[in-house]
Structure 1
Amino acid sequence: MKQGTRTNTVIDAIQRKINSRALKPGEKLPSIRGFAATMQVSPSTVVEAYDRLAADGTIYARRGAGFYVAPLIQPFAVAKVGPELDRAVDPFWVSRQSLDAATDALKPGCGWLPADWMPHNQMRQALRSVGRAEDALLADYGSTKGADNLRRLLARQFIDEGLNTGPDQILLTPSGTQAIDLICRFLLRPGDTVLVDDPCYFNFQALLRAHQVNFVTVPYGKNGPDVDQFEQALIQHKPSLYITNSALHNPTGATLSPQVAHKILNLATTHDMVIIEDDIFAAFEPAPSPRLVAMDGLDRVIRVGSFSKTLSASVRCGYIVARPDWIEALVDLQVATNFGGPSPLAAELIYSVLSSGSYRKHMEALRSRLDTCRSEVAAKLAALGIEPWLMPRGGFYLWCSLPGGVDSADLAKAALAGSMVLAPGNVFSVPQSMGGFMRFNVSQMQDPQVCETLERVLRTVRSGIG
């Protein structure tokens, strides 16, 4: 019998004694050696079992006196994890429903790839390597800018995208979202005005609202934001910040054209506006598209990104690329708010995978798989009267228009009752102008039940309209 199995056997025996009242609250447990003899296991097995029972509060230790049954306490009432059917369809809708959904729920509205699409073999190999690292990596805080080896690797990769920068202009952060939050803390004050796309990534809205700023929106087209309306927004509202995705825009999948990119940068310079370019989907492009940060040369454009979409959402690490004086200020701010950047363990794991030849092969295979998947899912959706707004050149999102009269929020609520999480259009829209759209994650639509459920709830919602 394995050690873990023996330990569980001892734990079960103690819990049976407590449940049957053979051991009562406050009563002393058998000695370690005595119970080891009774259970015919080693004393170390009993020690491990007692420690685990003490950790979950079933028993407690008295120094020098042994272990005792904990007092009978009403268990802490934890809210049931699962979909909140009556929750408002707001910018938190998709995040809350996706993160709290049961493991067997259908999640075509979530923002990540299925677990079996991720490079687990490479991650496990990296974990084994980190397990043999020096004690300092396992115990100490990291440096203020984050792991030097990962920052150097990122700097070399950025050169291939036309961004000539060094590791000192890169700051590692605990996540991509925290990278944006850090920049907002640095640049914004309550009451400032921020420009966002319509539609835009819903968590931009949620995060910016936490900073108590005002929103101005500009329609986002197939080549980027509407330049004329962009200029009018800058003249009329004087936003201090614009936040966007250039590569594979979320949720539309559109790509910024060089002409639009040049006009945006000229307007930003004229009107003294800073731009945050969230490049989290860059690795999914078949070839690099125009980048505001590369064209700008890190003057007023800040690049952020992370590895949650390509490697692991469990091993969190983000980054900021900005001009040197801003990086120095952001370092101080990160020390003040987080006492450093990401976990050195996380940074080392990511460096280990990114620096291996297997990562390039993983991304090549992933892009190819997604190309096929997008086409297949688009055909299935079209059969339901759901049409992609455009076919993206990469990534895993399809931004789709729904059949006439169907409101995406109504459809999402009906789907949630059937254990399926969708991403309705208005969670991506500050002016609530996208009620007839839905964002679909094609990688999460391989299960035939997704389209079957979608067809059923679509029929139900349409019958209510009629």
Structure 2
Amino acid sequence: MKDTTQAEAGTLVERVMQAIQQRISGRTLAAGARLPSIRGLAETLRVSKSTVVEAYDRLAAEGVIQSRRGSGFYVTSHLPPLSLTELGPLLDRAVDPFWVSRQSLDAADDTLKAGCGWLPGSWLPETGIRRALRTAARADVAMLADYATSLGLPALRHLLARRMAERGIEAAPDQIMLTESGTQAIDLLCRFLLEPGDTVLVDDPCYFNFLALLRAHRVKIVSVPYTPAGSDVTLFAQALAEHRPRLYITNSALHNPTGATLSPVVAHRLLKLADQAGLTIIEDDIFGDFEHEPSPRLAAFDGLDRVVHIGSFSKSLSAAMRCGFIAARHDWIEGLVDLKIGTSFSSGRLSSELVLSVLKDGAYRKHMEGVRERLSRSMGPVSARLDALGIKPWIEPRGGMFLWCALPAGIDAADVARRALVENVVLAPGNAFSVAQSASRFLRFNVAQCGDPRVFRVLERAMRG
């Protein structure tokens, strides 16, 4: 019994050490930063104070951290290279922006992904994708073997320009650059616009991968509360005055994770504030095709002056066909093309051809009409099942797949998510989306992934503890 207890204690110490090393590797704890207090870290990781003391002592012995008498423990001045792969979650660590992504991507086939951010494969246009693949198989060898042009497939850029025009965004094909994904689009824009130490505004809550990507660029992240009509304009103005950010990243159509829709009034006020402050806005439109009625686009009001419009097709078409885009002012495109060549050389030609083939097929519009109707039919029953458990939606979304929901008072979403994961259900706890860590009672649900009644049985047990 004694040996087992010692082994368990040793494992806990190693886990605490790993959690600290991951934060240091990911620059969440920078060189010279003060580590959490022994009591504070013990409470966060749910271990004893003696376990944290031993972990800190071992890290100090390895030269990773140093003790300052009467002040605490600090990260040493020398840091290892940035390692995002070491930021993966442990089940007993604080939930971070990688938690939901890693659990969803690595889940076994029998895992229920109620918190993930994409549609089930059975909801996607399999017939259209297979038809596009057959067409590609018969195409000229250049489609299968050659690099794409520097801006990307011209025919797809022309089609994207027409699609954007339907939403009031005037973008010529030579103002559009194709990327591997929406994430790569943001990464390239961060490389183009930011320096380490710059400040970036995000919504609170916001899509958690915005946070992970911004941390990789070593910038300061400041959040502004999000309302059912968009960012809180008063607090947005205060953040501009206090922090002087260079960039603001947001969704306009069907905000992730809340499902809210930007109002025209808020859109105009945000653009006026951005113009006064010299602020650039990245508008992620990845959920645009999920809207029943088009909501305001900042890029339409702005004319691609201060707003950069991005998107991809991983949510509506296929995550396996990696293809995104950037629409920006003419004088930025050349620099962005150079960055793309320097970091990835070219976007995927085959993926672009497949996306073009599906989009220009009239079946895609019918497919999205069916998806919107199916999501609408799913929203009510899922909301009712959650309500029966005392889980209340923040708003009733006008479309899309997400419900942003509050748990009953006194229940922590991260605890619920950890317990649900043991029963092979992936949930999305609110603080993974929140810079201010103000969403501990919230969970994001994907109604398309909640069709199996086991989700609610596991959720009920996880809430009981």
TM-score range, shorter chain: 0.7 to 0.9
> For the Cα contact (< 8 Å) 2:203–2:225, is it kept in 1?
yes
Instruction: Name the residue aligned to 2:429.
Output: 424
Instruction: Name the residue aligned to 2:219.
Output: 213
Instruction: Name the residue aligned to 2:402.
Output: 397
Aligned mate of 2:121, from 107, 115, 123:
115
Instruction: Name the residue aligned to 1:250.
Output: 256
Instruction: Name the residue aligned to 1:264.
Output: 270
Alpha-carbon shift at residue 87 of structure 1 (Å): 4.5
Q: Which amino acid aligns with 2:334?
A: E
Taking the aligned partners of 2:358 and 2:147, their CA distance within structure 1 comes to 21
Alpha-carbon shift at residue 358 of structure 1 (Å): 0.2
Q: Which amino acid aligns with 1:234?
A: L
Bigger Rg over Cα: 1
Instruction: Name the residue aligned to 1:276.
Output: 282
C-alpha deviations, 1:183-216, integer Å up to 9, x for none? 0000000000000111111000000000000011
Instruction: Name the residue aligned to 1:12.
Output: none
Instruction: Name the residue aligned to 1:366.
Output: 371
Aligned mate of 2:339, from 333, 336, 344:
333
Aligned mate of 2:231, from 220, 225, 230:
225
Instruction: Name the residue aligned to 1:132.
Output: 138
Instruction: Name the residue aligned to 1:194.
Output: 200
Aligned mate of 2:108, from 97, 102, 108:
102
Taking the aligned partners of 1:350 and 1:376, their CA distance within structure 2 comes to 33
Aligned mate of 1:452, from 454, 457, 461:
457
C-alpha deviations, 1:305-326, integer Å up to 9, x for none? 0000011001100100000111
> For the Cα contact (< 8 Å) 1:113–1:309, is it kept in 2?
yes
C-alpha deviations, 1:362-409, integer Å up to 9, x for none? 000100000010111000100000010001111100000001100000
Taking the aligned partners of 1:171 and 1:285, their CA distance within structure 2 comes to 24
Count of residue pairs the alignment pairs up: 379
Taking the aligned partners of 1:140 and 1:227, their CA distance within structure 2 comes to 48
Taking the aligned partners of 1:130 and 1:87, their CA distance within structure 2 comes to 46
Q: How does 1:16-415 map to 2 (within 5 A)?
A: 84-341=90-347, 343-415=348-420
Alpha-carbon shift at residue 269 of structure 1 (Å): 0.3
Q: Which amino acid aligns with 2:139?
A: A
TM-score (norm 2): 0.80
Taking the aligned partners of 1:368 and 1:186, their CA distance within structure 2 comes to 39
SS at 1:328 equivalent: helix
C-alpha deviations, 1:81-105, integer Å up to 9, x for none? x995334310100001110110110
Q: Which amino acid aligns with 2:449?
A: Q
> For the Cα contact (< 8 Å) 2:114–2:446, is it kept in 1?
yes
Taking the aligned partners of 1:104 and 1:325, their CA distance within structure 2 comes to 49
SS at 1:280 equivalent: coil
Q: Which amino acid aligns with 1:175?
A: S
Taking the aligned partners of 2:173 and 2:445, their CA distance within structure 1 comes to 36
> For the Cα contact (< 8 Å) 1:84–1:97, is it kept in 2?
no
> For the Cα contact (< 8 Å) 2:372–2:400, is it kept in 1?
yes
> For the Cα contact (< 8 Å) 2:395–2:404, is it kept in 1?
yes
Instruction: Name the residue aligned to 1:6.
Output: none
After TM superposition, the structure 1 stretch with the greater mean CA deviation from structure 2, 84-93 or 382-391, is 84-93
Runs of 4+ in structure 1 off by over 2 angstroms are 82-88
Alpha-carbon shift at residue 112 of structure 1 (Å): 0.6
CA RMSD of aligned residues (A): 1.2
> For the Cα contact (< 8 Å) 2:89–2:99, is it kept in 1?
no
> For the Cα contact (< 8 Å) 2:89–2:95, is it kept in 1?
no
SS at 2:379 equivalent: helix
- Which structure 2 segments of 5+ residues have no match? 1-87
Q: Which amino acid aligns with 2:384?
A: A
Taking the aligned partners of 1:289 and 1:329, their CA distance within structure 2 comes to 31
Taking the aligned partners of 1:362 and 1:156, their CA distance within structure 2 comes to 19
Instruction: Name the residue aligned to 2:36.
Output: none
